[in-house]
Chains A and B, each alone.
Chain A
Amino acid sequence: GIQVEQSPPDLILQEGANSTLRCNFSDSVNNLQWFHQNPWGQLINLFYIPSGTKQNGRLSATTVATERYSLLYISSSQTTDSGVYFCAVEYGNKLVFGAGTILRVKS
């Protein structure tokens, strides 16, 4: 089956810093989604991004489908950005998730 790898596995930032999270996948996919799992365990949809670039406030994402990777950019990080960021690719009828990047933003 498809492999989805996220890096880095964990990241500690000072409030206000920028970061880039990466997602590599091993096969062609129909779509890709980024999620934020907050400390209460809820999964929040960030981006639905099969290809191209999207921006939403301080967050933006780019997927280069031909090279099988996606990037999530967080600018001017805030403590509320803390949590786990998951990339998931649609493969067949299901989403296949990466292991996530644990982000801790310190004030």
Chain B
Amino acid sequence: NAGVMQNPRHLVRRRGQEARLRCSPMKGHSHVYWYRQLPEEGLKFMVYLQKENIIDESGMPKERFSAEFPKEGPSILRIQQVVRGDSAAYFCASSPPWTESDEQFFGPGTRLTVL
């Protein structure tokens, strides 16, 4: 059973470009979460999604950031017009249906560098 998969693992963008980060949850998991880790800091929640629904986006910056989890395919975190302050590691986590457990399992992360 493959773990949470994220790609790309490393992404370099110039200021003003768009960044697209992908996350495939573990098989059987229906909940996806995105977290951001700024350099030398802990992880901060961004958004929680289920298939085709954003459940909680209270941690998302109000502008330039969006997330989706379509019926088919991976979850996407999209950052438009990136700035240097967006440089960070972005982690995706997934959890099974809550009737089973609410333990979250993390992917390897995408390290975004904005030049």
Q: In whole Å, how far is A2's beta carbon from the nearest beta carbon of chain B?
A: 12
Interface residues of A in 38-96 (CB under 8 A from B): 41-43, 45, 48, 86, 88, 90, 92-96
- What DSSP secondary structure best describes chain B's contact surface? strand
Complex interface: chain A residues within 8 A of B101 (CB): 48
Our pick among A48, A96, A99 for the contact of B103 (Cβ within 8 Å) is: A48
Q: Which of A33, A95, A96 has most B Cβ within 10 Å?
A: A95
Interface size class of A (residues with CB under 8 A): 20 to 34
In the complex, the answer to whether B59 meets A43 with C-beta atoms within 8 Å is no
- What DSSP secondary structure best describes chain A's contact surface? strand
In the complex, the answer to whether B109 meets A41 with C-beta atoms within 8 Å is yes
**A31-B102, A33-B103, A43-B106 known; A94+B89 contact, CB < 8 A:** no
25 contacts between A and B (CB under 8 A): A33-B103, A33-B104, A35-B106, A41-B109, A41-B111, A42-B106, A42-B108, A42-B109, A43-B91, A43-B109, A45-B103, A45-B105, A45-B106, A48-B103, A86-B43, A92-B56, A94-B45, A95-B33, A95-B45, A95-B104, A97-B35, A97-B43, A97-B44, A98-B42, A99-B41
